[in-house]
Structure 1
Amino acid sequence: MRDNLDLPCYGASFGRAVKRYVLKFGFFEGRASRSEYWWVALLNAVIYILCFAMMAVGGLNLFDRSSIGVPDASAPWLLMVLAYYLLTFFPNWSLATRRLHDINADESQLSSGFPGYSLLGMMSLARKPSDPAGARYDSEWVKKASKSEEH
């Protein structure tokens, strides 16, 4: 079954949501369903928690109160967290924008203070159900296709 990336995928599984996240890297146009957004949010949270846990374990084992800086055993994990953040910054931003479109909200709510926009604020917006009026954010191709189906 071929996945139409131009439309939101309601009820997406974990694998499908992650696949769509990767394939739609940097696409700010269109919409993303709640399941698409939250599966990726869960993946991101798990990766960050694991990396920070490994940093903490490495820091506890080699922590020297007389030295200043990151303990040697924590440095690789810190680099992994930074690399992951940099690699996923724009895909996460585009996914959040598409999620806002699905609830018929403007992306200015996200970009006005991004990344300073409160995590709780985005979580509150992302949990809202889809709004059919959000279709106005679909790509021109989708709009033309839906109009031709009506005739």
Structure 2
Amino acid sequence: MKWFLYVLKHYATFTGRASRTEFWMFALFNALFAIACLIIDNILGTERILYAVYMLAVLVPSIAVSVRRLHDIGRTGWWYLLNFVPFGAFVILVFDCLPSEPADNQYGIHPDYINYNNPQKQSA
């Protein structure tokens, strides 16, 4: 849950890097909350209004964490545009599964060295 909240707190941060754990934990909790919204919409009979509001609310954080994940493997965030090409989402899925670059790169320090409780304090 801390990863989901971390991504939401940094909702428009397209710089830096996101580890696989950060990305996939955000994706997991995002899917769980989306399913919960669908269930609540179904119970209330609101025609997916709550679901649509939730998905709009997490649109920018989802793109931001995806771009930071691409940075973590040494790719530019422009690769995210492959999602709009047929079968490009599969390439992005493969990129999301790749391990982090082992050292710091041009996009920032290795995510394992970030203190997620206090991002201003970097630990060695």
Structure 1 residues 54 and 22 mapped into 2: Cα distance closer, same or farther (>3 Å)? closer
Q: Is the 8 A contact 2:37 2:50 kept in 1?
A: yes
Question: Which of these two proteins has the greater Rg computed from alpha carbons?
Answer: 1
**Secondary structure class of the residue paired with 2:106:** helix
The equivalent position to 2:38 in structure 1, one of 49, 52, 72, is 52
Return the offset for 1:34: 0.5
CA distance in 2, matches of 1:114, 1:20: 27
Structure 1 residues 23 and 51 mapped into 2: Cα distance closer, same or farther (>3 Å)? closer
Return the offset for 1:50: 2.4
Return the offset for 1:138: 2.1
Structure 1 residues 119 and 42 mapped into 2: Cα distance closer, same or farther (>3 Å)? farther
Q: Does 2:60 align with 1:90?
A: yes
Q: Where in structure 2 are there 5+ consecutive unaligned residues?
A: 110-124
The aligned amino acid for 2:52 is L
Q: Does 2:85 align with 1:107?
A: no
CA distance in 2, matches of 1:24, 1:91: 7
Q: Is the 8 A contact 2:37 2:54 kept in 1?
A: no
Q: Is the 8 A contact 1:28 1:94 kept in 2?
A: yes
Return the offset for 1:74: 2.5
**Secondary structure class of the residue paired with 1:137:** coil
Aligned to 1:39: 25
**Secondary structure class of the residue paired with 1:136:** coil
CA distance in 2, matches of 1:86, 1:129: 29
Structure 1 residues 84 and 134 mapped into 2: Cα distance closer, same or farther (>3 Å)? farther
Which one is further off, 46-55 or 84-93? Answer: 46-55
Structure 1 residues 28 and 98 mapped into 2: Cα distance closer, same or farther (>3 Å)? same
The equivalent position to 2:7 in structure 1, one of 7, 12, 21, is 21
The aligned amino acid for 2:13 is F
Q: CA RMSD in A?
A: 2.6
Q: Where in structure 1 are there 5+ consecutive unaligned residues?
A: 1-13, 59-72, 140-151
User: For residues 1-12 of structure 1, what are the structure 2 equivalents within 5 Å?
Assistant: none
Percent identity reads: 27
TM-score, scaled relative to structure 2: 0.73
CA distance in 2, matches of 1:36, 1:92: 11
